[in-house]
Structure 1
């Protein structure tokens, strides 16, 4: 069990969590292993097989502590929370905007401009730092140019199908050369393209786990400003899917997903032994490796960067909350458009 900022992560298999006073206590085999004050805690994430007492469930709901359950692979399973007190006028504005194809397309356009700009930033940073180690430099430079051009084409589009097609074109350019940024020699840590449900190689298993953590943070950010995380713009409604949270995730995947995954592999904080391979081809992170990823993820969130719209430094961990607030302001009519997060 590890507390990072305002979120408590439980990674120990077979853990039993209970309430004692204002504390959360973790037991394994009836032996107390950890005790954390619930004060200022906003989230509890249980990864793998762990159990929570009814008293602690009720306490967390009363205190506004959201509980998320993930599989050992990092796939989201369920979420337990108390009553949601969102702004009904804001949510009505959100629902009207999702039904208005022109407004919906304008928001999707800006989200994708942010996502593709940040994908380009990942490749450009990799070229700047490791150009001498990149094998196919022509293909890499071609992808950089494509990712530079696509946002200009997106700026004039509001048709959702066209925008999704341009997003797919950008993903092909981006992930088509992504493996060249992996600097380790191990063939089991190479990247040959995205795979999910289940991830079929170690790098995809790492990406999926990071995306799940990021989705948890984005959903919490949206709920904190009163938006409905289930009703999105790019990701349309589907039962059980946090569509708006997935929309918000798109802008941060390159920074807190792919870039962080590259750092963990290239710095050898993770290696071949940190992954389990199953007979059906699925791959997942081992328990100790998940802890390593959690620490790195939270350390990255403590770093600061200049927000391009606000013009001031912001903790990376607060960026989803800033973007959620900017989206809410746009939907209320305070901003003419939704300003995406652009990594520089």
Structure 2
């Protein structure tokens, strides 16, 4: 039996969630909008002005179901730390590995290689559907990224791995708009940067990456790993470095392809964005609903996992990769196998 983990996303401002026996009662302006069985929910993500009763927060925490608070526009604010599951020996092994420069470098190389390979596959797939001139540029970018993949085994420090990954990222983002087939005059990308978003593509990437990072943090906690102790991303207070590590190889597969699909199918249009004074861009509430609905559908799509050789929902990839990493940290696997999309 296989269960696809469900996350409840609430973004209607003024919504109130509270516990009603074994259900989550959803109210807007004191009017009941839904009753959701608690056992169907594996986590709650709320945007902006959304209230949760203390009893609901306590119940979710007892059942290892995290609550994540984001700003109205999708910026991460806070996340409940539910009681840790898993074996304390796993976390001890994780901390020991993070203190071992050679092992940290080996894991960082493999995570970066997985990300770059999936970026290359994304570019080549788009090239098959693009016009001749765009296809040539996409294939050239894929070849250039392949060169960077070949450089990864030669890196001697994690900083060098980050530098190689950064070079590949610049190649990837330079041609990213060429994978769009609709509204290119509006959906432009100056360069990849975080916040504040100054173009529609960055606004989309920031939002979808926040959702994906939350999924990866949940996967780490479910396995018993410490989400803050990573290998590729530098350790910083308040940063879920390991969740960001797991997210790297899934970005092109889940997040980037979701954005390309929504734009190319015209499910997202210029009407779903707000241009603010100062040159910043945000996504409307309806636009965020469209994105979240599409991501929910994507999670149910099945792909053949190259290691398990079984069809797996995209929504469970982060959990599988977290378990594979845990096996490596325990010494059950000689190397961490990144997810490679076909």
TM-score bucket (shorter structure): over 0.9
Distance 1:273 1:154 in 2: 42
- CA deviations 1:12-49 (Å, max 9, x no partner) are 11111111111111111111122111113210010121
Question: Are the aligned partners of 2:204 and 2:259 in contact in 1 as well (CA < 8 Å)?
Answer: yes
Q: CA RMSD in A?
A: 1.5
Distance 2:101 2:184 in 1: 47
Moved more, 77-86 or 7-16: 77-86
Moved more, 79-88 or 32-41: 79-88
Deviation at 1:144, TM superposition (A): 1.5
Question: Are the aligned partners of 2:17 and 2:24 in contact in 1 as well (CA < 8 Å)?
Answer: yes
Distance 2:25 2:81 in 1: 19
TM-score (norm 1): 0.95
Give the equivalent residue in structure 2 for 1:296.
294
Give the equivalent residue in structure 1 for 2:51.
51
Distance 1:171 1:85 in 2: 35
Question: Are the aligned partners of 1:305 and 1:315 in contact in 2 as well (CA < 8 Å)?
Answer: yes
Question: Are the aligned partners of 2:177 and 2:189 in contact in 1 as well (CA < 8 Å)?
Answer: yes
User: Secondary structure of the equivalent of 1:245?
Assistant: helix
Moved more, 100-109 or 36-45: 36-45
Give the equivalent residue in structure 1 for 2:187.
189
User: Structure 1 residues 228 and 238, CA, compared in 2 at 3 Å: closer, same or farther?
Assistant: same
Distance 1:5 1:267 in 2: 27
Find the partner of 2:251 among 250, 253, 276. 253
Distance 2:71 2:328 in 1: 35
- CA deviations 1:99-127 (Å, max 9, x no partner) are 11110000000001100000001100000
Runs of 4+ in 1 over 6 A off after TM superposition: none
Give the equivalent residue in structure 1 for 2:213.
215
User: Structure 1 residues 186 and 163, CA, compared in 2 at 3 Å: closer, same or farther?
Assistant: closer
User: Secondary structure of the equivalent of 1:46?
Assistant: strand
Distance 1:255 1:301 in 2: 11
User: Structure 1 residues 336 and 215, CA, compared in 2 at 3 Å: closer, same or farther?
Assistant: same
Deviation at 1:139, TM superposition (A): 3.6
Give the equivalent residue in structure 1 for 2:263.
265
Distance 2:14 2:332 in 1: 49
Distance 2:306 2:156 in 1: 23
User: Structure 1 residues 164 and 81, CA, compared in 2 at 3 Å: closer, same or farther?
Assistant: closer
Deviation at 1:146, TM superposition (A): 0.8
Distance 1:163 1:275 in 2: 35
- CA deviations 1:69-104 (Å, max 9, x no partner) are 111221111012432233211111111111111100
Distance 1:73 1:292 in 2: 14
Question: Are the aligned partners of 1:19 and 1:55 in contact in 2 as well (CA < 8 Å)?
Answer: yes
User: Secondary structure of the equivalent of 1:259?
Assistant: helix
Give the equivalent residue in structure 2 for 1:130.
130
Question: Are the aligned partners of 2:124 and 2:138 in contact in 1 as well (CA < 8 Å)?
Answer: no
User: Secondary structure of the equivalent of 2:46?
Assistant: strand
The answer to whether residue 140 in structure 2 is matched with residue 154 in structure 1 is: no
Deviation at 1:138, TM superposition (A): 4.7
Distance 1:104 1:67 in 2: 30
Question: Are the aligned partners of 2:127 and 2:136 in contact in 1 as well (CA < 8 Å)?
Answer: no
Deviation at 1:53, TM superposition (A): 1.2
Structure 1 segments unaligned to the other structure (5+ residues): none
Question: Are the aligned partners of 1:19 and 1:53 in contact in 2 as well (CA < 8 Å)?
Answer: yes
Question: Are the aligned partners of 1:210 and 1:256 in contact in 2 as well (CA < 8 Å)?
Answer: no
Deviation at 1:158, TM superposition (A): 4.0
Deviation at 1:63, TM superposition (A): 2.2
Deviation at 1:225, TM superposition (A): 1.0
Paired positions, count: 339
Question: Are the aligned partners of 1:5 and 1:298 in contact in 2 as well (CA < 8 Å)?
Answer: no
